[in-house]
Amino acid sequence: MKARTWAPRKLDIGAFIESGESLSGETAVADLARLAEGLAQDADLSALPPVRWQAVGRTVPQRVGAPQRWLDLRAEGEFAWECQRCLHAVTLPVAIERSIRFVADEAAAAELDADSDDDVLAMARQFDLIELVEDELIMASPIVPRHDRCPTDVERHMRSEDDDSADAEESAESGERKNPFAVLAQLKKGGS
């Protein structure tokens, strides 16, 4: 018997789950447009390793009624976000592992989704598995990406700004007012 070939962008999700087969692959980060929008502007998407993913279909027999249809999904990748401390790119890993129940239609999915903690989606004959992988990676992305230790010394920079503001406060208290053009006057004297 010839093995069936599954197309992840146009997957008959019901048939795939019923088969109990596994589907895996790699997708370039550049092919995940919505995820790529949230990455650092200077990120070289072609330099990032591809997202690795795997989907396994399974049915769970029930005492009464038809078996439940489930898709077990795993994905992992490394993405370059903008560090919220230093504003330089920070590459962080993201991994997901989800079990998603599939039901006959949107109405059943909405009803079960409201009553259950399970992730529930409606069946589709042309289901985009890569879009689901992208959705799950976006939801698992860090809210505030940052380095453990920034490459630039942000704290020292912040302290020097605090020192400058403390000097300004001292000048204001003593009644002296700093002339913002004093530096230019010094440059003019030194340059002549």
Sign of the CA dihedral 155, 158, 164, 165? negative
Which pLDDT score is estimated for 115?
A: 82
Residue 170's pLDDT is what?
61
Q: Please tell me the predicted confidence (pLDDT) of residue 189.
A: 77
The pLDDT, as a whole number, for residue 163 is 57
- pLDDT of res. 38: 94
pLDDT (0 to 100) of residue 164 = 56
Query: Tens place of pLDDT for every residue, the chain, 192 residues?
Result: 566 889 999 999 999 999 999 999 999 999 999 999 999 998 899 999 999 999 999 999 999 989 999 999 999 999 999 999 899 999 999 999 999 999 988 888 888 888 888 899 999 889 999 999 999 999 999 999 999 998 876 566 556 555 555 555 665 566 666 777 777 777 777 655
C-alpha–C-alpha distance, residues 115 and 108, integer Å: 11
pLDDT at 90: 94
Residue 173: predicted pLDDT = 61
The Cα–Cα gap between 117 and 113 comes to 7
DSSP H/E element including 133: helix 129-140
| Residue 157 to residue 162: CA distance in whole angstroms | 9
Task: Give the start-to-end residue ranges of the domains of the chain.
Answer: 13-140, 154-191
Give CA–CA dist 92/116, Å, rounded: 32
Q: To the nearest 10°, the Cα dihedral for 29, 32, 33, 36?
A: -40
Predicted local distance difference test score (pLDDT) of residue 181:
77
